[in-house]
Amino acid sequence: MSHFNPEKLFVAYSSGVTATEPVIPRCYTLTHSDMTGDLFLTIGSRYAWEKINPNRDEVLGVWRQVGSTLHFYVYLYIDQGEYNINVSAKRNEIFKRELPLALTAIRYGDRFLFDAYPNLEQSLIIIHFMSAYPQFARQESWGTFHHFPYR
pLDDT digits (tens, 9 = 90+) for 21-38: 999 999 999 999 999 999
> Residue ranges of the domains in the chain?
6-147
Contact (CB, 8 A) for 67 and 124 = no
C-alpha span between 117 and 124 (Å, rounded): 15
Q: What is the per-residue pLDDT for 99?
A: 98
CA angle 79, 142, 120 (to 5 degrees): 115
pLDDT tier at 3 (50, 70, 90 boundaries)? confident
Over residues 117-146, the mean pLDDT reads 98
Mean pLDDT computed over 134-139 = 98
Backbone φ, ψ for residue 149 (5° rounding):
-70, 155
Q: How confident is the model at residue 1 (pLDDT cuts 50, 70, 90)?
A: low
E strand or H helix at 29? strand 27-32
Q: What is the pLDDT of residue 2?
A: 73
| DSSP-assigned beta bridge partners for residue 28 | 43, 61
Whole-prediction pTM = 0.95
**Mean pLDDT, all residues of the chain:** 96
Q: Over range 77-82, report the average pLDDT.
A: 96
